[in-house]
Amino acid sequence: MRLVSRLGNGIAWYFLIACIAISGSPQAMQASTLMSIAGMAGLVLYKWLKKTTSRPRPYARDGHIIALTAALDEFSFPSGHTLHAVAFTTVAVAFFPLLAWILVPFTALIALSRVVLGLHYPSDVLAGASIGATLAATILLWAA
């Protein structure tokens, strides 16, 4: 779960965007551009929400919960890993449906890892997934 979470920090998504862009087709360029826009918009949105809500992480509230990996920031709501995983997956699969067989399970593992590692409440992950899906749908509609 630590490895999955670490890959969800951005490494896997940057690699995917680069691989899609390298193919050079107009469809690939549009997909990688929209994924980049989703990433930037998601970053701004989740940082604002974290600062606004200031919800402590589970391990900070309950001494019985141990964080099994270091958190990237202080607050838990929403899960930025999940937000970005859902947004990137939604956009990528909209352009390349065959990627769903690997991206959907990977996204689910990222979301699960955040709770298992003691970094997020389930509601943080659900909110991140909802925000990521809404963001991706908005970007895809805008680009259509």
Tokens describing residue 105: 């399970």
Interatomic CA distance for residues 100 and 23, integer angstroms: 18
- Helix boundaries (H) for the chain: 2-6, 12-22, 26-53, 58-61, 80-95, 100-116, 122-143
The pTM is what? 0.94
Cα–Cα distance for residue pair 113/104, rounded to 1 Å: 14
State the CATH number of the domain containing residue 28. 1.20.144.10
Tens digits of residue pLDDT in 31-53: 999 999 999 999 999 999 999 99
- Structurally, the chain folds into a number of domains equal to 1
pLDDT tens string 54-109? 999 999 888 888 888 888 888 999 999 999 999 999 999 999 999 999 999 999 99
CB atoms within 10 A of CB 26: 7
**Range of the structural domain that residue 116 is part of:** 2-143
Specify the pLDDT at position 69: 84
